[in-house]
Amino acid sequence: MRAIIKAAEWTLGPETAEGAPKEPMYEAECTSCGEQSGCTEGERLPAEVWALKHTGSNPAHRTFRAVITSFWRVSPVEGNPYRELEAP
Ligand SMILES: [Zn+2]
């Protein structure tokens, strides 16, 4: 019961801080050699194309780990004492 009350005092949403990605970050990693595509924000196609080209250059490397990263923030709701402590 106490856990439910505590959960009601906080809200979870996307991170909105300056510089935080607005869209998920997509990346592919070869499970054979560990090489990575690099991250792209909001677009998965570059990681997919990278994986296809990587197999083209290394025909035995055919499995990849797709990594999708989003950033979240937990914020106090109205009535949570932390809300007033953090107010500008
Ligand atoms: Zn590889």
Per-residue pLDDT tens listing for the chain (88 residues): 444 455 558 889 999 899 999 999 999 999 999 999 999 999 999 999 999 999 999 999 999 999 999 999 998 888 888 888 876 6
- 57-60 long-range contacts, CB within 8 A, separation 24+: 58/30, 58/32, 58/33, 60/32
How many domains is the chain built from?
Answer: 1
Q: Compute the distance from residue 52 Cα to the ligand 1 centre, in Å.
A: 11
Question: Does residue 1 belong to any structural domain of this protein?
Answer: no
With beta carbons less than 8 A apart as the criterion, state whether 35 and 54 touch: yes
With beta carbons less than 8 A apart as the criterion, state whether 79 and 9 touch: yes
- Please tell me the distance from the alpha carbon of residue 25 to that of residue 71, in angstroms, as a whole number: 9
Question: Does residue 3 belong to any structural domain of this protein?
Answer: no
Question: Does residue 54 belong to any structural domain of this protein?
Answer: yes
**Among 19, 53, 20, which Cα is nearest to 35's?**
53
Question: Does residue 15 belong to any structural domain of this protein?
Answer: yes
Owning domain of residue 57: 10-86
- Please tell me the distance from the alpha carbon of residue 19 to that of residue 9, in angstroms, as a whole number: 27
Residue-level pLDDT at 78: 87
Question: Does residue 57 belong to any structural domain of this protein?
Answer: yes
Q: Compute the distance from residue 60 Cα to the ligand 1 centre, in Å.
A: 8
Q: Compute the distance from residue 36 Cα to the ligand 1 centre, in Å.
A: 8
